[in-house]
A and B are shown apart, each in its own frame.
Chain A
Amino acid sequence: MKVVVCVKQIPDPADPGALDPETKTLRRNVKLILDESDSYGVEMALQLVDAAGEGSVHLVSMVPNDEVSGLRTALAMGADSATLISDEALAGSDALGTSRVLAAAIERAEPDLVLAATESSDGYTGVVPAQVAELLGLPSVTFAKEIAVEGSTATVRRQTEAGADLVECPLPAVVSVTAGVVEPRYPSFRGIMQAKNKPVDQLKIADLGIAAERVGWAGAGQEITDVAEAPERAAGEVVVDEGDAHERIVAFLDELKVI
């Protein structure tokens, strides 16, 4: 079973940088790391291949520069190989431009199953997995809480507003996984050493037959017109607990007439 996992390298959420006032987009000249949301997809893929008894896990990712450190993290977890579409023309891509590139790279890998996070932790548009599926003509199941694969069928427990749906889906298919569904393993020292020698195939968009005007700024069907500071919320009273802070909370709730 060949599983492709879409992963994104993002600025560290603890230090996300700033918006570039010129281009009004996130500055990405900071160091990029593996989006933590993607570690669940990688772990899920490793577990599914393990359960199947055979197969491989291949990563697909894109960046406007040559950054690979986030990919190495996922390779160190145990993924076998990666395709990195690294092209300056990708800067400024919207979700659809991103999906066009990922879909083209995924198609070449001919996977049985494509996994992704439900949304990235920086752009969080939440539409890329289903866009990729539509571009590839595949079924998709988003917001998976559990996945099991039996032969050429995936059974997915999908989060819904009311609870969960049990969905049966023929492979190949695209499935997006929510955070917390599995416990991502920490890369071992051996894994980190091995990751350095795992194949990372670097491509340009031309290698995928994608025209530059379909991605990046040129291909994005949207533009930012304004960036403004949001109104600050004023801080209130801060009390150090001396064993009776709960009484202060009760009094506060009383004032609000909610108890």
Chain B
Amino acid sequence: MTLDKIWVFCEAGDDGVATITLEMLAKAREVAGTVEVFCGGDGAACAAELGDHGVATVHATGDLDGRMKGVSVASAVAAAISDGSVAAPDAFLLGTTYDGRDVAARLSVKLDVSVLSNVVDLRLDGDRLVGVEPVFGGTLNVTSRFTDGGPDIWLVRPKSFEPAAVGGPPAEVVDLPVPDLGTTGGAVVRDRFTEESEGPKLDEAAIVVSGGRGLGAAEAYSMIEGLAKQLGAAPGASRAIVDAGWVPYSYQVGQTGKVVKPTVYIACGISGATQHLVGMKGSKNIIAINKDSEAPIFAVADLGIVGDVHKVLPKLTEALEGR
């Protein structure tokens, strides 16, 4: 027994369709007969890649002319369902991303249905979907389902599924018109900035080097960046130093923040609060450096170093130079 139809929210950047979208498509194909995609923006640019991942139809709003994606896409989907131009799917899957959360939130109000967030697994239980969400730092897995008749709205954590191309012709692009947004549409993007970051993205890097409160001061974060550069790694951070304003929110690994699953995760001066553990416990290998031998981070580390990051990191970076 599978679902009839799932709609996956497609996000894309300069380098094509976002990994989170491809991950959700792979899972959606497992549990539903038909998988379609909806997106805010130009569908044609993504049609070939989406077709390769088994998508037959892309419902695209076209250029949003600076309007916010969340309210535009949610309003377009709700309007299309309401006027009968599309049939409501059994479920919507969206990534736990900046825009994915906005679309899910607005859509839930428009359709008057619940949202389940932070899902890391989805499966069929009879003819319905159930989702799994980790709580308490990933020590417990909570399985939930919807009771309101749907459509279901699931917000899926990145890195939960493996993308899988299946080959297929380019997806057909269908217009998803944005209705008049009225007062809800007042916010407009005036300018876009790209943060130039050297090296790989935090949630896609093979190695992540993260710093925490144990660094002692904002300036010491340069040790993390130095080591990350040497390893071709992405720099990350614990919530404590994001809260303290040392690095931006986009660096944060954890429950509130990004989930990473690199080949190697190096936690430097991070004690390992449950908030942090849920974001990095899925890493294949974990190295932890912390002064406190009782720090909870050591309970998940494959290699734990009880030591001062200010002494270990410079030596480590130096040892790696010329390798």
Contact = CB atoms under 8 A, between A and B. Distances in A.
B189 interface: yes
14 contacts: A95-B114, A121-B255, A121-B256, A125-B115, A138-B183, A140-B102, A160-B98, A160-B192, A162-B193, A165-B192, A167-B68, A241-B308, A243-B311, A256-B264
A223 B117 contact: no
A159 interface: yes
Contacts of B207: 258
B187 A168 contact: yes
A188 to B, nearest CB: 20
A187 interface: no
Given A13-B275, A229-B140, A256-B264, A236 B301 contact: yes
Smallest CB-CB A-B distances: 7 pairs:
A241-B307, A221-B148, A221-B114, A130-B105, A163-B195, A236-B302, A127-B105
Nearest to B109: A134
B143 A227 contact: yes
A33 B190 CA distance: 38
Nearest to A245: B305
Contacts of B138: 230
Interface of B: 11, 13-14, 18, 68, 70-71, 74, 96-98, 101-102, 104-106, 108-110, 112-118, 125, 130, 134-136, 138-148, 155, 182-195, 206-207, 231, 239, 242-250, 252, 255-256, 263-264, 266, 273-275, 281, 285, 287, 289, 293, 298-308, 311-312, 315-316, 319-320, 323
Contacts of A36: 243
A228 B70 contact: no
A237 B97 contact: no
Nearest to B136: A16
Interface in A239-259: 239-241, 243, 245-250, 252-253, 256, 258-259
Interface residues of A, number: 84
B264 A253 contact: yes
A180 B242 CA distance: 6
A155 to B, nearest CB: 8
A30 interface: no
Interface string A130-155: 11011101111111010000000000
A241 B305 contact: yes
Given A133-B184, A139-B187, A228 B141 contact: yes
A167 B320 contact: no
Given A167-B188, A239-B303, A131 B117 contact: no
A23 to B, nearest CB: 12
A177 to B, nearest CB: 10
